[in-house]
Structure formats: C-alpha cells, structure tokens
Amino acid sequence: MSGVNKRVLPGFGLSLGFTLVYLSLIVLIPLSAVFIKTTTMSWHEFLDAVASPRVIASYKLTFGASFLAALINAVFGLLLAWGLTRYPFPGRKIVDALIDLPFALPTAVAGIALTAIYAKNGWVGSLLEPLGIKIAFGPPGVLVALTFIGLPFVVRTVQPVLEDLETEYEEAAASLGATRWQAFQRVVFPTLFPALLTGFALAFARAVGEYGSVIFIAGNIPMVSEITPLIIITKLEQFDYKGATAVASVMLVISFLLLLVINGLQAWTARRTGRAI
C-alpha cells in the first residue's frame, strides 16, 4: 500500500510545464513586452516620459488615493465583515449580496452612478455643496471611486476568517476580566491581521489600476485630478507608445515593490502569530 500513488492529478512534470506555459502567456510575456519596449528609449527620453511634472502629479494622486482608499476599506471592511458574521439581523443576506456589487457592476456604470450622486446637483453633493465640500470632479471623487471598487476585497478576505474564529476565545478572555476592546485587541485582531493585510493589499492593487469608474468622477484636470492610467491612455491615443510603456513600467515596478513589502509583512505577522499560539 505504501507504493500506491495517492495523488489526484499525477504527472508533476506535465502539470508544472502547463502551469509555466500558461503563466508565461497570460502574465510574464505581456509584462515583459512593456519593459522590452521601454528599453528602446534613451535614458533622457525615459526621464522626460516618466518624470514630467504632470506625470509625477498623477503618480502622487494614483498611489496616494489608492493607499488611502485601501486603508479606509481595511477599517470599514472589517466592521462590515464583523457585522455580517457575528450579528443576525433582517436583510443580512441582501447586505451580504450587495457587498459583491462592485465585482459585477461595470466600472463605467459605477463611475456614472457615483458622479450622479456626488455632483453638486446630486443627492449627496447637493447637501455638501452649501458646506463648501466638493466631491465630484476633484481628488475626493477619485478617493470615493477607489473606495467603492476596493471594499469587497477586504470583506471577502476577512469574512471567512471571522466565520472560523470561535467565540469561545472571546468568552474566555471576558471570563478572565478582559474588556471587549482588550479581547478584540489581544485575541481577535492578531488572528485577523494577516487576512486584513491581504485584503488591504488586494484593494490597493485593484485601486492602482482602476480606470473606468474614476475618469467620470475625477474631472481629469491635469496636475489636479488626473490619474496615471489616464496618462497612459492619453499617450496611446497620441501614438506615443514608448512614453506609454515607460509610464506603465514605472507603475509596475512601484506596485510590485509595495505589494512585496505588504506580503512580506503578512508572512512575518503570520509566523509571529503562529509562534504566539
């Protein structure tokens, strides 16, 4: 019996070969083409394409708004996941289904809907306009759109961990005299943090590349509310393929480095939590 092959899918070499070929065709070759196209530029041309004031302003808005939106989603996504898993209430299944709406909704439709709501004559914008708060057609509109499309990533990442986390641990902490905040801080949060960090990373990555829902509500004002994906599209429309690939390569490198840091922090946190347990 010891010599019986218990693998469901035998053939490691064939499986690995298929995986590498598929990964290369879908991911590695297209991304490599971006860098190969960029290498045809001189260093001076590259700097002119990626370091102009307009492009740098788009970097700041894209990565800054993406990071802030992911941070907001990490907080409120955790609260939503907590409410959906720990408290039964009427209409919970409907709310749970609505969480996935940004997944199914076309990004252009989301952008139009958000613009209609947050414009100065919209439902929310008309209430904020007298207070001097302008959401649509500015950086706050970009933040709203990126928060909208990134929320499901945090909720759906944290929710299964909360469902598997037994309430007995919290009850034991309460029986030892811990307050609710202390039980959450010392017992629940260390277990949730790796999943929360994963949801943050996914929401951030999704926000960095978002285009459709942002261009409607951003206003697309150069140096103010213009995102980097729009810069790339503009260069492509002007047949500046080298400039577009240069900006895209910078976004790829920065995104990869940030995600590498986040994933490293997640792995470190998981090992530390495992040792503590």
| Domain at 216, CATH number | 1.10.3720.10
Residues of the domain holding 162: 60-225
Q: Is 74 inside a domain boundary?
A: yes
Q: Is 87 inside a domain boundary?
A: yes
Q: Whole-model pTM?
A: 0.85
For residues 13 and 46, the model is more confident at: 46
| The predicted structure's pLDDT at residue 165 | 79
Q: What is the 3-state secondary structure (H, E, C) of the chain?
A: CCCCCCCCCCCHHHHHHHHHHHHHHHHHHHHHHHHHHHCCCCHHHHHHHHCCHHHHHHHHHHHHHHHHHHHHHHHHHHHHHHHHHHCCCCCHHHHHHHHCHHHHCCHHHHHHHHHHHHCCCCCCHHHHHHHCCCCCCCHHHHHHHHHHHHHHHHHHHHHHHHHHCCCHHHHHHHHCCCCHHHHHHHHHHHHHHHHHHHHHHHHHHHHHCCCHHHHHHHCCCCCCCCCHHHHHHHHHHCCCHHHHHHHHHHHHHHHHHHHHHHHHHHHHHHHHHHHHC
Q: Is the pLDDT of residue 276 over 50?
A: no
Q: Is 123 inside a domain boundary?
A: yes
Q: Is the pLDDT of residue 155 over 50?
A: yes
Q: Is the pLDDT of residue 275 over 70?
A: no
How would residue 106 be classed by pLDDT, with cut points 50, 70 and 90? confident
How would residue 5 be classed by pLDDT, with cut points 50, 70 and 90? low
| The predicted structure's pLDDT at residue 7 | 62
User: What's the whole-number average pLDDT of the chain?
Assistant: 86
For residues 81 and 16, the model is more confident at: 81
Q: Is 27 inside a domain boundary?
A: no
Q: Is 193 inside a domain boundary?
A: yes
Total of domains in the chain: 1
